[in-house]
Amino acid sequence: MLSIKDLNVSVKNNVILNRLNLEVKLGEVHAIMGPNGSGKSTLATTLAGSEDYDVTSGQVLFKGCNLLELEPEERAGKGVFMAFQYPLEIPGVSNQFFLQTAVNAVRKYRKQSPLDRFDFADFINTKIALLHIPADLLTRSVNVGFSGGEKKSNDILQMVALEPDLCILDETDSGLDIDALKMVTHGVNTLQNGERSFIIVTHYQRILDYIQPDYVHVMNQGRIVQSGDFSLVKKIEEQGYGWLTK
Ligand SMILES: Nc1ncnc2c1ncn2[C@@H]1O[C@H](COP(=O)(O)OP(=O)(O)OP(=O)(O)O)[C@@H](O)[C@H]1O
User: How is the chain split into domains, by residue range?
Assistant: 2-245
CATH of domain 2-245: 3.40.50.300
Task: Find residue 48's DSSP bridge partners.
Answer: none
Looking at residue 111, its pLDDT comes to 94
Q: Which atom of ligand 1 is nearest to the CA of 35?
A: 25
Query: pTM for this one?
Result: 0.94
* 68-111 pLDDT, tens digit each: 999 999 999 999 999 988 889 999 999 999 999 999 999 999 99
Q: Which atom of ligand 1 is nearest to the CA of 171?
A: 27
pLDDT at 246 over 80: no
Among the listed residues 4, 56, 68, 15, the one whose alpha carbon sits nearest the alpha carbon of residue 37: 15
What beta strand segments (E) does 156-221 contain? 166-170, 197-201, 215-220
Separation of alpha carbons 144 and 79, rounded Å: 26
Q: How far is the CA of 238 from the centre of ligand 1 (A)?
A: 25
Looking at residue 55, its pLDDT comes to 96
Looking at residue 193, its pLDDT comes to 87
Count of alpha carbons within 13 Å of 86, Cβ hemisphere only? 1
Give the mean pLDDT of 51-64: 94
Name the strands in the sheet holding 166-170, side by side, starting at the edge strand that comes first in the sequence: 80-83, 166-170, 197-201, 29-33, 215-220, 223-228
Mutation pick for ligand 1 pocket among 41, 86, 173, 202 (CB with most ligand atoms within 8 Å): 41
> Is any ligand 1 atom within 6 A of the Cβ of residue 223?
no
With residue 93 as reference, give the H or E element that holds it.
Answer: strand 90-94
pLDDT at 5 over 90: yes
The pLDDT mean for the chain works out to 94
Looking at residue 114, its pLDDT comes to 97
